[in-house]
């Protein structure tokens, strides 16, 4: 059974998620922008800035960032976000709004990456701020399946040695001891965020929200 959304539907969700996250960010206090997240050493402003990079940077700019990071893909992602986060917060929000409707991809990524990125990093921000932010079920399933099947770019998170079963939408992957959770919880587990997964499940309830 294919669980991937079609291209138009996926981009429509990405646009909605970018818009709703920009709305959330626009109302933050200066202190909230500096809140630490569970995404490495990134603050809310670093995560938000990261979400604007792929759709705004030209391939030439990305190549420059790659050389600046001395060939490290992970360092490039980290450092480009931290530099962009130095912008005024109003400009970060404006940059996020400016990419609504954009279909530009980061080099070497598939059209499924923008959805994965906005869903997971949207949760990084919301959970750090103690906010409730839902995930559309079909979108979370598409993103979870992308993580499970990811080969290029290399998946940065090890897959759980378990059988994952979504309780709110049809999706099952893996073998071993069964983990039954809402698809949003499973997505956060798959992206190396076990504490965030538990917090998201607690905040949203046993079924999880499906906006």
Among the listed ranges 5-14, 15-24, 77-86, which one has the minimum average pLDDT value?
77-86
**Helices 194-204 and 183-190, packing angle to 10 deg:** 160
Reported as a pLDDT band with limits 50, 70 and 90, residue 63 is: low
Cβ contact 201:162 at 8 Å: no
CA–CA separation, 105 vs 159, rounded Å? 25
Instruction: Look at residue 207 in the predicted model and tell me its pLDDT.
Output: 46
For residue 106, give Cα distances in angstroms to 9, 57, 157, 173: 20, 8, 19, 27
Instruction: Look at residue 8 in the predicted model and tell me its pLDDT.
Output: 95
Measured on CA atoms in the order 136, 141, 142, 143, is the torsion positive or negative? positive
pLDDT exceeds 80 at position 205: no
Q: What are phi and psi of 139, to 5 degrees?
A: -70, -45
* Residues facing 165 on adjacent strands: 172, 180
* Residues facing 43 on adjacent strands: 36
Instruction: Look at residue 150 in the predicted model and tell me its pLDDT.
Output: 87
pLDDT exceeds 50 at position 211: no
Instruction: Look at residue 75 in the predicted model and tell me its pLDDT.
Output: 78
Show the 3-state SS of the chain: CCCCCCHHHHHHHHHHHHHHHHHHHHCCCHHHHCCECCCCCCEHHHHHHHHHHCCCCCHHHHHHHHHHCCCCHHHHHHHHHHHHCCCCHHHHHHHHHHCCCCCCCCCCCCCCHHHHHHHHHHHHHHHHCCCCCCCCHHHHHHHHHHHHHCCCCCCCCCCCCCEEEECCCCCEECCCCEEEECHHHHHHHHCCCHHHHHHHHHHHCCCCCCC
**Helices 44-53 and 7-26, packing angle to 10 deg:** 140
Instruction: Look at residue 151 in the predicted model and tell me its pLDDT.
Output: 80
Instruction: Look at residue 64 in the predicted model and tell me its pLDDT.
Output: 64
Interstrand relation of 178-181 and 163-166 (parallel, antiparallel or unpaired): parallel
């Amino acid at each position: 059974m294919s669980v991937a959304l079609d291209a138009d539907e996926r981009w429509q969700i990405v646009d909605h998620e970018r818009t709703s996250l920009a709305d959330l960010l626009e109302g933050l206090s200066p202190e909230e922008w500096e809140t630490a997240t569970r995404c490495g050493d990134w603050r809310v402003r670093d995560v938000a800035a990261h979400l604007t990079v792929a759709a705004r940077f030209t391939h030439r700019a990305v190549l420059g960032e790659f050389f600046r990071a001395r060939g490290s893909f992970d360092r490039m992602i980290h450092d480009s976000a931290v530099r962009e986060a130095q912008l005024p917060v109003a400009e970060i929000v404006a940059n996020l709004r400016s990419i609504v409707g954009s279909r530009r991809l980061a080099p070497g990524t598939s059209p499924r990456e923008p959805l994965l990125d906005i869903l997971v990093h949207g949760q990084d921000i919301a959970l750090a701020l103690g906010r409730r932010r839902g995930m559309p079920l079909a979108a979370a399933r598409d993103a979870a399946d992308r993580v499970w099947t990811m080969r290029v770019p290399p998946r940065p998170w090890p897959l759980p040695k378990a059988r994952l079963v979504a309780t709110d939408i049809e999706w099952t992957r893996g073998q071993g001891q069964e983990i039954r959770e809402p698809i949003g919880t499973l997505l956060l587990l798959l992206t190396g965020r076990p504490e965030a997964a538990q917090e998201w499940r607690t905040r949203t309830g046993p079924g999880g929200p499906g906006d």
